[in-house]
Amino acid sequence: MSARFEELGWGPTPIGEVSLRRRLDPVTRVDVFEVKLGDEWLMSSQFTVAEEALAHHGLARLTDRDADVVVGGLGLGYTAASALEHAAVRDLAVVELLEPVIEWHEKGLVPLGQVLTADARCRFVQGDFFAMSHDGGYDPTAPDRTFDAVLLDIDHSPRHVLDDGSAGFYGLEGMRAVASRISPGGVYAMWSNDPPDAQYVAILEQVFVDVEAEVITFPNPLQGRDATATIYLASKPSA
């Protein structure tokens, strides 16, 4: 059991100051790791079920193939670590805009840092996922490369974005851009903290097939009730 509160890391980024904190939760009596962007909460180790489901449910759509995967947003690493649990994943590129977040993993300051850095399939790519979707792709060494799955966990929802740079991404043009980076028969999946958004589903249906908005339910011991998140799942048509 650690001290009640400790700031483990801090650094400036193009979209504001980011900090890593560890605190002892007074209810559960376990250490909780949290990432904040200014006053905005980005990620907490206290609730990770939906982030893990993003990887498991997204990759479950891929059958009979080895998979090259992109995770948009590193955070505390739960989506990436869950993806690596799938033996079919042969290469995992984790695209993260905030350089300090990558450094915290490389230095082992977060619980899953050593898990990700020790797996030869996993590599961190420092860059803007949204800009890379439109121009240059997710692999700086191969601009035209496509991937079997893109798992996105950056913004809170299609309507609640962290920075103006991604505000237009969830429209038709942005979804066509990300689809261009996905191999035929591949998968796009996104985590959202909001209930299913019918307007976003309609946009996805113009680009992808087999579109679902799946509600993930998990216990919230702090409030004594269940909480929910949404996983959007969509497949690119086969060639």
Q: SS in 3 state form for the chain? A: CCCCEEEEEEEEECCEEEEEEEEECCCCCCEEEEEEECCEEEEECCCCHHHHHHHHHHHCCCCCCCEEEEEECCCCCHHHHHHHCCCCEEEEEEEECCHHHHHHHHCCCCCCHHHHHHCCCEEEEECCHHHHHHCCCCCCCCCCCCEEEEEECCCCCCCCCCCHHHCCCCCHHHHHHHHCCEEEEEEEEEEECCCCCHHHHHHHHCCCEEEEEEEEEEEECCCCEEEEEEEEEEECCCC
Where does the pLDDT of residue 136 fall: very low under 50, low under 70, confident under 90, or very high at 90 and above?
A: very high
Average pLDDT over residues 188-201: 96
- Whether pLDDT at 52 is above 90: yes
Q: What is the pLDDT of residue 15?
A: 86
Position 222 scores a pLDDT of 58
- Amino acid identity of residue 70, one-letter, is V
CA distance 138 to 156: 21
pLDDT at 2: 56
pLDDT for 39: 82
**Mean pLDDT across 145-154:** 97
C-alpha to C-alpha distance for 143 and 14, rounded to whole angstroms = 23
Mean pLDDT in residue range 217-226: 71
The mean of the pLDDT values for the chain is: 91
**Does pLDDT of 172 surpass 60?**
yes
pTM for this predicted structure: 0.92
Q: Confidence band (pLDDT; 50, 70, 90) for 221? A: low
Task: Indicate whether 225 pLDDT > 80.
Answer: no
Mean per-residue pLDDT for 165-174? 89
- The residues pairing with 36 across neighbouring beta strands, listed in sequence order, are 19, 41
